[in-house]
Amino acid sequence: MDEIRNPFAPSAGSQPPELAGRDDLIRSAEIAIQRILRGKHDRSQILLGLRGTGKTVLLNKIENIALDNDHMTSFVEAPDDRNLAELLYPKIHQVLRKLSFVEDAKTKTHAALRSLRSFAGAFKITVGDVSISVDPQPGSADSGILEYDLIDLFFAVGEAAQSAGRAWTLLIDEVQYLSKPELSALIVAIHRMNQKGLPILFFGAGLPQIAALSGEAKSYAERLFLFPKIGALNDSAAAAAIRLPIEDEEESITNDAVADIIKVTEGYPYFLQEWGFQVWNIAQTSPFTRTDVKDASINALRRLDEGFFRVRYDRLTPKEREYVLAMAELGDGPYKSSDIADQLGESVNTLGPRRAKIIHKGMIYSPEHGDVDFTVPMFASYLRRNFLDKA
Ligand SMILES: Nc1ncnc2c1ncn2[C@@H]1O[C@H](COP(=O)(O)OP(=O)(O)OP(=O)(O)O)[C@@H](O)[C@H]1O
Ligand SMILES: [Mg+2]
């Protein structure tokens, strides 16, 4: 088919032509957004799922819903080399600048800017081009202890937003890169704002292993946050993800062909996009058939091997590669740490630091104590196919 009309979007964070199977989630986010704006209580959420399941796309969708509902939004991706305070500073500054134009919010916004200035001082944030021309507010957000200062700062921002009749939605992608104290501080602060009825909502997304929380943050998180699981699509959603974009372009695909795509992709969103994309390009006529799917699979796998899978493998050191190859050799996960150690002829303890580094890189995670698994769906078969000569 004409490549120019190809509707599929196999690329990280790209809006899919059909956002299939996520209606309930989107609805619950929408309700929370509308309730918070009206000063009612609702829960913040952290979406948890493996690589390529559609977390970023959902966060983007939620941001748009928030914008459509009079929220101001700040979307950040947690990097592994900067801290949360640095990340939030310019975003909050931007929100306050918007509020500073609202007559009814001028006083509170000014106070919030002063808190932000204190915060920047306390965390030695190099303000660069984002400087604030107000004096710091002594005693507010200036202790240098993130947990306390975030509460002060969010409180000031929440009051400013409230006096403008607006709300603020903070969205953070890749939350697994936040440190444990940062995530805890964030959860506690969001919870406090909720208790005070201030219009602040948080949506996070990350790999399932987000730092096991502790203490106060843990009990808040368990009771007061939602942790929806973002996984593979069920068969009917996966079928819709393939079929509807094709039909929107006034082409068609046979049921058998759709079933074959669901089977090879196991319903994982990224893989669905990749297969849809390749089938479209390869098919000469419509409806697309099983033969088209079979031919497209060769290209789809090659593209995934050279891109989606490869970039993750490339980030590992030779020693770390040994470790993941030992996992793949054991079959599909989850894997017991002791089995991997046996496979490598080493002890679990000596391997501990190596395992921790691979977890830190977001390549593997620990679904249960002592177990590990890949964060990338079908990664073990990628490794076998490319490095172990046994598919
Ligand atoms: N509900 C869906 N239906 C169909 N395709 C989807 C859906 N959600 C996401 N996709 C597609 O899947 C791919 C991955 O989406 P996205 O980048 O949001 O995943 P992710 O979970 O953020 O991955 P990562 O953990 O690697 O950041 C994109 O090509 C996107 O278009
Ligand atoms: Mg993402």
Q: Ligand 1: which of 48, 209, 229, 273 to mutate, judged by most atoms within 8 Å of the beta carbon? A: 273
Q: Is ligand 1 within 6 A of the CB of residue 56?
A: yes
Structure tokens at 297: 């699979």
- Asked: is 317-388 a CATH 1.10.10.10 domain? The reply is yes
The answer, yes or no, to whether any atom of ligand 1 lies below 6 A from the CB of 228, is: no
Query: What is the number of the ligand 1 atom nearest to the C-alpha of 53?
Result: 21
Q: Please provide residue 334's backbone torsions phi and psi, each rounded to the nearest 5 degrees.
A: -70, 160
Measure 246 CA to ligand 2 centroid, in angstroms.
25
User: Which candidate, 279, 327, 332, 285, places its Cα nearest to that of 301?
Assistant: 279
Angle at 94 between CA 89 and CA 96, to 5 degrees: 95
Question: Which CATH number, 3.30.300, 1.10.8, 3.40.50, 2.40.128, labels domain 234-306?
Answer: 1.10.8
Provide the pLDDT for residue 211: 58
Instruction: Kindly give the distance from the C-alpha atom of residue 118 to the centroid of ligand 1, in angstroms, as a whole number.
Output: 39
If one residue of 57, 278, 363, 365 were mutated to test the ligand 1 pocket, choosing by the most ligand atoms within 8 A of its CB, it would be 57
The pLDDT of residue 283 is 97
Ranges of CATH 1.10.10.10 domains, the chain: 317-388
Is 311 touching ligand 1 by the criterion CB < 6 Å? Answer: no
Tell me, in angstroms, the distance from the centre of ligand 1 to residue 57's CA. 6
Q: Which residues pair with 200 in a beta bridge?
A: 168
Take atom 18 of ligand 1 and give the residue whose Cα is closest. 54
- Concatenating the DSSP letter of every residue in 144-200 gives S-HHHHHHHHHHHHHHHHHHTT-EEEEEEE-GGGS-HHHHHHHHHHHHHHHHTT--E
| pLDDT reported for residue 203 | 97
**199 Cβ inside 6 Å of ligand 1:** no
At 390 the pLDDT is 58
**Closest Cα to residue 47, out of 61, 31, 36?**
61
Any ligand 1 atom below 6 A from CB of 14: yes
The span from the CA of 34 to the CA of 38, in Å, is 7
Does residue 189's CB lie within 6 angstroms of at least one atom of ligand 1?
no
Q: In the chain, what's the furthest Cα-to-Cα distance? A: 71
Helix 180-195 to helix 146-163 angle (10° resolution) is: 40
Sequence-ordered list of residues with C-beta below 8 angstroms from that of 379, at least 6 positions apart, any chain: 309, 312, 324, 328
- Residue 130's pLDDT is 64
Q: Where in the chain is the domain with CATH 3.40.50.300?
A: 23-226
Residues 23-226, CATH architecture: 3-Layer(aba) Sandwich (3.40)
Establish whether residue 55 lines the binding site of ligand 1, counting it when its CB lies within 6 angstroms of any ligand atom: yes
- The single-letter DSSP state of residue 334 is -
Distances (CA, A) of 260 to 87, 123, 236, 246, 367: 44, 54, 13, 16, 29
Among all chains, which residue has been given the structure tokens 């299939």? Answer: 20
Query: Is there a contact between 305 and 381 (Cβ–Cβ < 8 Å)?
Result: no
- Count of residues making up the chain: 391
**In the chain, where does the domain assigned CATH 1.10.8 lie?**
234-306
Ligand 1 close to Cβ of residue 377 (< 6 A):
no
pLDDT values of the chain reduced to their tens digit, one per residue, 391 residues: 999 999 999 999 999 999 999 999 999 999 999 999 999 989 999 999 999 999 999 999 999 999 999 999 999 999 877 889 999 999 999 999 999 999 999 999 999 999 999 999 888 887 666 667 777 777 788 788 898 999 999 999 999 999 999 999 999 999 988 888 899 899 999 999 988 999 999 999 999 877 566 667 777 788 888 999 999 999 999 999 999 999 999 999 999 999 999 999 999 999 999 999 999 999 999 999 999 999 999 999 999 999 999 999 999 999 999 999 999 999 998 999 999 999 999 999 999 999 999 998 889 998 877 899 999 999 999 999 999 875 5
pTM above 0.95, yes or no: no
Determine whether the shortest distance from the Cβ of 273 to ligand 1 is under 6 A: yes
Q: Which ligand lies nearest to the CA atom of residue 60 in the structure?
A: 1
- For ligand 2, the distance from its centroid to the CA atom of residue 363, given in whole angstroms, is 14
Is the minimum distance from the CB of 49 to ligand 1 under 6 angstroms? yes
DSSP secondary structure string, 259-323?
HHHHHHHTT-HHHHHHHHHHHHHH-SSSSB-HHHHHHHHHHHHHHHHHTHHHHHHHTS-HHHHHH
